């Protein structure tokens, strides 16, 4: 299915500032960009780079005092892989691909060592594999309140576990943390999400099971089949849509994701299904 996705971001720069963005859809991984445009107003020069290890696409520009706006829009075709969940198992650490090892250790927002005892007690006896990660999402969805303003950029998964409240990035961090505590590689994914209301940048996570990465969303707020991946990393620190070095004031952000073929009114499930993009 094809989607039109994009965003408009603006800042009032008070002094010269350097801005780094990660807003462009990823290439590859069963995700094809058919068309895209990026407009910077005023027309400042920008450096672009695609990270070799993740595929994240970064844009860096330096803006003088005054307003600066970015508009990104893309038509993206998704071709997800679906498997029977009962046959998707976990991979022993001794047999994991070496490039997944960075996603099994604790990280800044995902202190899996701190929550290992709880994860073992709560999820240790569940059938290993897709079902166990699904139960992790079920627990988060049932025990953590989705609450705007309940967290900030310093909130870790341990904080969310304590307060039992957060937003999508906190739900993703907690899912990643529980997975890693059980020896399952897991990574943070930022995305444009079809059917998300209200529209915004969304955060989910991927767990490495069987022979590939599978998408999970503990918020259950958007269709897994309709998520256009922007970036992935150990946690949100690796995938921020904007990193600012300088004194700026943010303007309102607009984000969109629209189906442009098939049945636009189709309601795809937000429950646990085996969706893979890599």
Residue-wise pLDDT tens digits, 229-278: 999 999 999 999 999 999 999 999 999 999 997 554 454 444 555 666 56
Q: Is 251 exposed, middle or buried (0-12, 13-18, 19+ CB in 10 A)?
A: middle
Q: Is 40 exposed, middle or buried (0-12, 13-18, 19+ CB in 10 A)?
A: middle
Provide the percentage of residues in the chain whose pLDDT is more than 70: 94
With the C-alpha atoms ordered 46, 52, 57, 60, is the resulting torsion angle positive or negative?
negative
Section 209-223 average pLDDT: 95
CA distance 240 to 191: 11
pLDDT tier at 26, thresholds 50, 70, 90: very high
Nearest CA to 112 out of 63, 56, 180, 175 is that of: 180
pLDDT tier at 216, thresholds 50, 70, 90: very high
Pairing of strands 145-146, 165-166: parallel
Phi-psi region of 222 (alpha: psi -120 to 50; beta: other; left: phi over 0): beta
Quote the pLDDT of residue 261. Answer: 72
Whole-number average pLDDT of the chain: 93
Section 2-20 average pLDDT: 96
Does the predicted TM-score (pTM) go above 0.75?
Answer: yes
pLDDT digits (tens, 9 = 90+) for 89-100: 999 999 999 999
Section 159-188 average pLDDT: 98
pLDDT digits (tens, 9 = 90+) for 194-211: 999 999 999 999 999 999
Quote the pLDDT of residue 86. Answer: 85
Is 218 within 8 Å of 206 (Cβ atoms)?
no
């Amino acid at each position: 299915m094809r989607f039109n996705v994009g965003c408009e971001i603006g800042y009032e720069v008070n002094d010269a500032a350097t801005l780094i963005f990660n807003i462009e859809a990823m290439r590859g991984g069963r995700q094809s960009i058919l068309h895209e445009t990026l407009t910077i107003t005023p027309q400042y020069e920008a450096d672009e780079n695609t990270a070799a290890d993740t595929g994240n696409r970064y844009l860096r520009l330096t803006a003088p005092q005054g307003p600066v706006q970015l508009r990104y829009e893309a038509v993206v075709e998704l071709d997800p892989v679906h498997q029977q969940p009962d046959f998707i198992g976990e991979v022993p650490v001794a047999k994991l691909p070496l490039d997944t090892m960075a996603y099994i250790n604790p990280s800044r927002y995902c202190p899996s060592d701190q929550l290992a005892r709880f994860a073992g007690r709560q999820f240790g006896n569940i059938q290993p594999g897709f079902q166990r990660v699904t139960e992790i999402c079920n627990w988060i969805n049932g025990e953590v309140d989705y609450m705007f303003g309940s967290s900030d950029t310093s909130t870790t998964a341990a904080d969310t576990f304590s307060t039992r409240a957060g937003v999508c990035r906190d739900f993703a961090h907690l899912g990643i943390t529980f997975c890693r505590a059980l020896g399952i590689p897991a990574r943070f994914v930022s995305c444009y999400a079809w059917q998300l209301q209200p529209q915004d940048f969304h955060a989910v996570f991927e767990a490495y099971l069987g022979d590939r990465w599978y998408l999970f969303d503990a918020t259950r707020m958007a269709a897994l089949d309709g998520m256009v991946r922007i970036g992935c990393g150990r946690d949100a620190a690796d995938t921020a849509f904007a990193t600012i070095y300088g004194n700026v004031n943010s303007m309102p952000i607009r984000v969109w994701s629209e189906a442009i073929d098939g049945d636009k009114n189709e309601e795809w499930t937000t429950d646990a299904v085996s969706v893979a993009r890599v």
